[in-house]
Structure 1
Amino acid sequence: MDERWAKRACQGALLRKFELTPETYRKRFQGVRKTSGVSYKEVTNLLGEYLCKWGKGTGATTTEDAYNLVGLEQLYDICPPDLKMWLVDRKPKDLRSAGAVADEFADKLPAPGPSISVSPRGVIAPGQAITIRCQCPCEARRLFMYKDGIKIREVEAAGDGGEFTIPSTRWEDSGSYSCRSRSRLEPPNRSDPSDYVRIVVAEPSYPKPIISLRPSGGVSLGGAVSVWCRGQRRGVRFVLNKEGRHFPPVDSDDIEAVFPISNVSREDGGSYSCSYHSRSEPLAVSYPSDPMELVLRDPSLPRPSITLSPTGVTAPGADATIRCQGQRRNVTFFLHKAGDLNPQRHVDPAGDGAEFRIPTMGRQHGGNYSCSYRPQSEPFISSYPSSYVELVVAEPSYPKPNISLSPSGGVSLGGAVTVWCRGQHRGMRFVLNKEGRHFPPVDSDGFEAVFPISNVSREDGGSYSCSYHSRSEPFTVLYPSDPVELVVRGADATIPCQGQRRDVRFFLHKAGDLNPQQHVDPAGDRAEFHIPTVSRQHGGNYSCSYRPRSEPFVSSEPSNPVQLVVAAAPPDFTNTNIARLGLGATVLLVLGLILAEAYYSRPRGAP
């Protein structure tokens, strides 16, 4: 017995001496590489040989043994060094026991401490709200906040952390704050504490600064922008505040500081404010500036379209509606007026379009308007603005002009038509209006102007009106002309009807027909009546009215009429021309026969 034991001990010593242990073959197995001059067959042979000797050396004889051998090796590779040493010392036999041993080790260690941030930073004025955020992988954990080492509050963590808010700070809120997490399972596992953040509450002694953006007209994702903070003291330290973002303070010898932001990303969008304080007296601080939003434009969002109703010049006291149409739902639309940095209004519609109403307009409402939208899930990401529509508010000074079409009977697809606008004053600027279409104004030395439209398409069909105004006094304007309808033969026609109430039913009427042509129940205060494939019987004067749905037999007065002119298609002379050619050929043939008969019936020798 002693001889066999001594023999095995001698064999083990020899194997270790010549590095023929299972650990040696494990390292050789993992170190196999394909090199030049070595075939893939030789590589696979080496892999098989080293794996076999590694397994035999550890006593692996079954498929399950090999499964645990390779699985444990992978587990060791992904474990932290201290956990790997813990596992190797305890020599687990399989993956299941290794997992239990690893969890036992992890439960005895504290979790990493959360990170902590406070917004706004710097000195806080009494009554100002602050938010302390603790961030960590906090699934199934609770968060605790400490002030000067004493636990004061706790919250359930959600996702990647939690927030503690002090809605109105007081002097006694000054202090050092930290946080830590604890598992909800028993026995509880506590994390290390976070770093400390210092909160100082003091009465501001300087007036608030002014915050602004450059460029001020907006910035696209990936672009650059600078936040300017301008105070009323020289030689102070400026602090820029944004929730969830830290900016290093800036010392300035002037009265302002600049915080540049390059390669702008989605995370940079949000609300910013700034403040400043004395470098030598940190408690001598300013009030925070008013908040300012940084909204980022995303080129991947399609631009919206914009329309104005009514078009042309609008008299004071009338109503106007600006419609913004997008391509996405769950967005907020914003109306912008040129020269005003802040949006005029915003609307959260149910669909992909929004209407902005301007009731009882005054001259102050005149100007150029555009619109944009922001996804409700990303309130600081915006589309690019739409094109502009011009809203002109002025008291008409001249009688309305006359509008006509030439040819007047309609036009075929691909043809040409001219819109004539005739006023009662010379040397004016004429404007042609059509919803959804822009025409350059025309200056005329006579009484009228011409707007040619070539290669007519379906989009050219619709209702047109025109107006004119003085070149030197652009707001000396007149009423627009009555509308004229351009009908494109072979195309469809649309007659829009605009009301001033919702929950109504619109009716389309044709002069000479006692019964309404159509009715529509729109979601808003506007309806469109479509006439597909217009033909001669559709021509005539049309008007519309509406009835409240709650009072179906009470109607509004009808609108002003609009004329739909449908020209007859040009006559087809093909068959007539063929008949005429045939008749001409017959006459020629008869004349030829008569001449031939006369020639051959002449006596011979006659002159």
Structure 2
Amino acid sequence: MMLRVYWQVRMEGLLTSKGRRYSTPSILMSPSEVVTLRANFSIHCKCEDLEWEESRLYQMRSSLRILKMYRREENETVFPIFGAKPSDAGIYWCQYCSVLPTNISEDKLVNNSKCQKGKKLNYQPANQTRCSYDSKNLTINIIDSSLPKPSFKMRSMEQVSSGMNFVIKCQGPNKGLNFSLHKSRDLIKELLEQDRDTAEFTFSAVRLEDAGKYTFQYQHTRYPFVWSVPSEPMELYVTDSTLTKPSIHLWPEGPHTVDSNVTIECQGPENGLNFSLFQSNDVRTSESIDLVGNTTKFFFRVLRLEDAGNYTCQYHQRGNWFVLSVPSEAMQLIVTAPLILVNKIRLGVASLVLIALGLIITEAVYSWRREAADDPEPASESLQPSTSHEATEITEMMS
């Protein structure tokens, strides 16, 4: 809706402006088009055309406004903005304007023009405001680090086969947010979610070029150019079924005991590959190989019990980090504990059991004694009948 209003205002400006526009200035920003809150930045407007008298900078947010008007002295005008605020974000463009006296002829206007040389201009009456064409749009976004940082609702590394469908799930702090998904800082998709605090970006039939590193940001709809900080990156790996499957080997063959040394060797179809070793589908480590070999070795100097599991390896070619081959056949690494260690573990478990039983017995004895101390009356009453009965018997004997 805002973009529709924006274009309507721009078109009305072209139709109702006085005079004819001659050339197109350039506009850029330094240091970049993304600014953090309270940072300083500058907008540069430049045109090597006529001797315009002033330069104008316009900003579009929810309405059009002229932000600055400077008297021009050189071919480039710099508009400094200090301590960026949310209101400084938006769409900018600039133009140059002059009030032309009557003694400037059409031939002089044409001969002095560098941006549109050779185009004859329609002469207007004196004291008309003549302006250049508008520059291109410059969109300035502001990053507000005080907003909660978003996060992906998935693992930091995902792997999917080419041609399959895939969904990237994003989590924001509340409802009514506009989410933007970026790949290597390039905007990929935008999604507005009014009724929930999550967004799902669907990739139908994933392509190899979809592989890469993704981040996302969000913005509140009432601040369309103010964004949160980016999320932590999520790496998407795509497997290419056309690549030859690698092979995997274990030296020496198992089973192996704790603290022993083993080597896992991966081999590919060509030289200069980069291999990744996976344990139960989770990446364990990566290793590059030189340009003259097609194998790489992963060394386990001191085996641990948690090193046991199924291993596979995959490779990617140089310059294509996120496109992987299909996995190798699974290789099982069996790690057993030495007998001494097993006995130590058994003794440790037995000790824990004995300690637990001792605590249970101690608690039971303590509870019994506490109940006896808190309730003495029943005990005295239970003895009283016996004493009365004995006194009755003694009386009968005396009589």
Q: Is TM (by shorter chain) over 0.5? A: yes
1:286-435 equivalences in 2 (<5 Å)? 286-306=132-152, 311-312=158-159, 314-315=161-162, 317-338=163-184, 340=186, 343-349=187-193, 350-362=195-207, 364-391=209-236, 396-400=242-246, 422-425=266-269, 428-432=273-277
1:442-457 equivalences in 2 (<5 Å)? 442-444=287-289, 447-450=295-298
SS of the residue corresponding to residue 321 of structure 1 reads strand
Q: CA deviation at 1:427?
A: 5.5
Look up the match of 1:215.
31
Amino acid at match of 2:180: F
**Does structure 1 residue 241 correspond to structure 2 residue 58?**
yes
Look up the match of 1:129.
9
Does the aligned pair in 1 maintain the 2:268–2:315 contact within 8 Å?
Answer: no
Does the aligned pair in 1 maintain the 2:214–2:234 contact within 8 Å?
Answer: yes
SS of the residue corresponding to residue 129 of structure 2 reads coil
Aligned length: 295
Distance 1:266 1:435 in 2: 47
Distance 2:38 2:180 in 1: 23
Q: 1:323 to 1:448 in 2, by over 3 A?
A: farther
Distance 2:332 2:68 in 1: 64
Q: CA deviation at 1:224?
A: 1.0
Distance 2:232 2:20 in 1: 45
Distance 1:308 1:384 in 2: 19
**Does structure 1 residue 260 correspond to structure 2 residue 76?**
no
Distance 1:403 1:379 in 2: 55
Look up the match of 2:367.
none
The Cα offsets for residues 203-237 of structure 1, whole Å up to 9 and x where unpaired, read as 54224434332222511111011122334525323
Amino acid at match of 2:346: F
Does the aligned pair in 1 maintain the 2:246–2:266 contact within 8 Å?
Answer: no
Distance 1:449 1:390 in 2: 25
Look up the match of 2:103.
none
The Cα offsets for residues 364-402 of structure 1, whole Å up to 9 and x where unpaired, read as 545433211112232222111123344566564221555
Does the aligned pair in 2 maintain the 1:335–1:370 contact within 8 Å?
Answer: yes
Amino acid at match of 2:131: V
Distance 1:453 1:375 in 2: 52
Distance 2:14 2:350 in 1: 101
Distance 1:371 1:352 in 2: 14
Distance 2:30 2:332 in 1: 48
SS of the residue corresponding to residue 430 of structure 1 reads strand
SS of the residue corresponding to residue 399 of structure 1 reads coil
**Does structure 1 residue 202 correspond to structure 2 residue 18?**
yes
Amino acid at match of 1:267: S
Distance 1:476 1:380 in 2: 34
Amino acid at match of 2:142: L
The Cα offsets for residues 227-250 of structure 1, whole Å up to 9 and x where unpaired, read as 223345253232111247653313
Amino acid at match of 1:287: Y
SS of the residue corresponding to residue 289 of structure 1 reads coil
Q: 1:326 to 1:338 in 2, by over 3 A?
A: same
Q: 1:310 to 1:574 in 2, by over 3 A?
A: closer
The Cα offsets for residues 134-155 of structure 1, whole Å up to 9 and x where unpaired, read as xxxxxxxxxxxxxxxxxxxxxx
Distance 2:280 2:200 in 1: 15
Amino acid at match of 1:220: T
1:382-531 equivalences in 2 (<5 Å)? 382-391=227-236, 396-400=242-246, 422-425=266-269, 428-432=273-277, 441-444=286-289, 447-450=295-298, 466-471=313-318, 477-481=324-328
Q: 1:440 to 1:293 in 2, by over 3 A?
A: farther
SS of the residue corresponding to residue 130 of structure 2 reads coil
Q: Which structure has more RCO (C-alpha within 8 Å, separation ≥ 6)?
A: 2
1:133-172 equivalences in 2 (<5 Å)? 168=12
Distance 1:421 1:387 in 2: 33
Does the aligned pair in 1 maintain the 2:276–2:283 contact within 8 Å?
Answer: no
Does the aligned pair in 2 maintain the 1:420–1:449 contact within 8 Å?
Answer: yes
Distance 1:436 1:387 in 2: 21
SS of the residue corresponding to residue 370 of structure 1 reads strand
Look up the match of 1:574.
347
SS of the residue corresponding to residue 87 of structure 2 reads helix
SS of the residue corresponding to residue 302 of structure 1 reads coil
Amino acid at match of 1:573: R
TM-score (norm 2): 0.56
Q: CA deviation at 1:429?
A: 1.4
Q: Which runs of 5+ in 1 are unaligned?
A: 1-126, 131-166, 172-199, 410-414, 487-568, 579-607
RMSD value over aligned CA atoms?
5.1
Does the aligned pair in 1 maintain the 2:216–2:231 contact within 8 Å?
Answer: yes
Q: 1:476 to 1:351 in 2, by over 3 A?
A: closer
Does the aligned pair in 2 maintain the 1:400–1:481 contact within 8 Å?
Answer: yes
Amino acid at match of 2:144: D
Q: 1:436 to 1:397 in 2, by over 3 A?
A: closer
SS of the residue corresponding to residue 300 of structure 1 reads coil
Does the aligned pair in 1 maintain the 2:157–2:234 contact within 8 Å?
Answer: no
SS of the residue corresponding to residue 311 of structure 1 reads strand
What is the identity percentage for the equivalent residue pairs of Structure 1 and Structure 2? 26
Does the aligned pair in 2 maintain the 1:367–1:390 contact within 8 Å?
Answer: yes
Does the aligned pair in 2 maintain the 1:296–1:381 contact within 8 Å?
Answer: yes
Pair member with larger Rg: 1
TM-score (norm 1): 0.39
Q: 1:282 to 1:239 in 2, by over 3 A?
A: farther
The Cα offsets for residues 491-524 of structure 1, whole Å up to 9 and x where unpaired, read as xxxxxxxxxxxxxxxxxxxxxxxxxxxxxxxxxx
Amino acid at match of 1:348: L
